[in-house]
Amino acid sequence: MIDATEFLMMMLNKARREFEKAKVRGDLKTARMKALECAKYCFEIAKKDYREREYYLKLGEKWRMTADSLEERKHKIVEKAEGGEDFRSYIEGLIAKSKVKWEDIGGLDGVKRLLMETVVIAGLQKPESIKPWKGILLFGPPGTGKTLLASACAGSLNATFFNVKADKVLSKYFGESSKLISSLYRVAREKAPSIVFIDEFDALSLSRSGDVSEASRRMLSTLLAELDGFQDKKSDILVLTLAATNTPWDLDQAVLSRFPRRIYVPLPDKNACVEIVKIHTRGLNISKLKLDEIAEMCVERFYSGRDIANLCQEAVWVMVRDVNPELYKLAELPFEELKKRELKVRPLEMSDFEEAFKKVKSPLTKKDLDRYERWNEEFGG
Ligand SMILES: Nc1ncnc2c1ncn2[C@@H]1O[C@H](COP(=O)(O)OP(=O)(O)O)[C@@H](O)[C@H]1O
Ligand SMILES: [Mg+2]
């Protein structure tokens, strides 16, 4: 026959062994439960065994502390796993495979050259004092090809392209945005060469109103620290940050000083318009078009690259409807059947573009453009 104390001791030993096993497995929940059990048995024994009372009280207390510390660790691990994984999958979601090539961009020769040089310098063996740009600011009216330029950089390098919209990150992660940025740069370095493209950059720094949230301030300072810090470390890893904004005047001095290269991406001039029309009518016969005339109209109407892309789409549709008047009727056919047929096309004509011009309007005015020009004169370069 065994007495109560002996029984409790047996149970204590059993619980202790299970605790050890759970700890080895990394099963913190069970380990904690077993530690609490140990504590309970210790206190029971202390009640029954007067000679060893002190000893078992102390031991019980120790087990309880062990259980508490496991509770804390569990919390920390859960937090890390959640935050870490959430960030990670969000960051992976920002990675875009870029197929854009330099020749997909009309005009902007100067900008293209500078970006190409930056990329090339980053790759070449070079004296220590020659450092490639880490951050480049692209500014200009909407739709002028800023995103396109960043994609082409990534495409030509076969680099990992992170497409980050500053305002989206802020609204999704708010207080956590700066942590997200650190994680993002960690992943960018892992997957180098990388291009981190930050769109709507002005969302982080509104000098005009002076009213920036704490969250955007922290996100911005983390970002600037990443830009600074990385400069001195291993220079053979390329992580190039391209920031884009349609409202450069919203950026404050502190930000500007971190982006010594600020590049104006203007509306296309006449030559650029011709190139952009050609890019967006690829595969079609344009020999009947007077490209000069179209380009002049585009310049006069303050068209951006995006407006020209839309113009071409509209014109192409006018042509398609013209030679396929019953097109919509084919909607009754099964998709398999459709795939066997071919869309009729004819060479594009000036009249197609005349129709299209009526539909495309640029939101910009001369005043807007002057503002970009002035900012460029003062801060650009
Ligand atoms: N220079 C350009 N050459 C060819 N297409 C252009 C050009 N600029 C703009 N586009 C067209 O307009 C779209 C929007 O351009 P985007 O690069 O997003 O402008 P931004 O980022 O400056 O607002 C592009 O996807 C492209 O179809
Ligand atoms: Mg864009």
| Tens-place pLDDT, residues 366-375 | 999 999 999 9
CB atoms within 10 A of CB 165: 17
Ligand index nearest the alpha carbon of residue 280: 1
Ligand 1 pocket, residues with Cβ under 6 angstroms:
105-108, 142-148, 244, 276, 279, 305-306, 309
**Alpha helix positions (H), the chain:** 4-25, 28-48, 53-94, 109-123, 146-157, 166-173, 177-190, 214-232, 253-258, 270-279, 291-300, 305-323, 335-340, 350-359, 366-379
Ligand 1 atom closest to 106 (CA): 3
Domains of the chain: 4-84 (1.20.58), 97-264 (3.40.50.300), 270-363 (1.10.8.60)
pLDDT at 140 over 90: yes
Give me ligand 2 centre to Cα 143, in Å: 6
Q: Give the Å distance between the CA of 180 and the centre of ligand 2.
A: 21
The whole-angstrom separation of Cα 91 and Cα 61 is 45
Percent of the chain predicted with pLDDT > 70: 91
Per-residue pLDDT at 295 exceeds 80: yes
Give the pLDDT of residue 319: 96
| Candidate from 38-52, 72-86, 200-214, 361-375 with smallest mean pLDDT | 72-86
16-41 CB burial, b ≥16 within 10 A, e <16: bebbeebbeeeebeebbbbbbbbbbb
pLDDT for position 228: 77
pLDDT of residue 83: 54
In the predicted model, is pLDDT for residue 36 greater than 80?
yes
Q: What pLDDT was estimated at residue 120? A: 82
Of residues 172 and 318, more confidence is placed in: 318
Q: How far apart are the CA of 296 and the centre of ligand 2, in A?
A: 24
Residue, of 212 and 239, whose pLDDT is higher: 239
Q: What is residue 238's predicted lDDT score, i.e. its pLDDT?
A: 81
Please compute the mean of the pLDDT values over residues 191-202 and round it to a whole number: 90
Averaged over 268-277, what is the pLDDT?
A: 97
Sequence-distant (6+) residues with CB within 8 A of 377 are none
pTM score: 0.74
Backbone angles phi, psi at 195, to 5 degrees: -120, 120
CA 214 to chain centre: 21
Whether the predicted pLDDT of 212 surpasses 70: no
Report whether pLDDT(208) > 80: no
Q: How far apart are CA 363 and CA 303, in angstroms?
A: 9
- For the cut 50, the answer to whether the pLDDT of residue 81 exceeds it is no
Atom of ligand 1 nearest to the CA of 151: 17
Mean pLDDT of the chain: 87
Question: 136 exposed, middle or buried (CB, 10 Å; 0-12, 13-18, 19+)?
Answer: buried
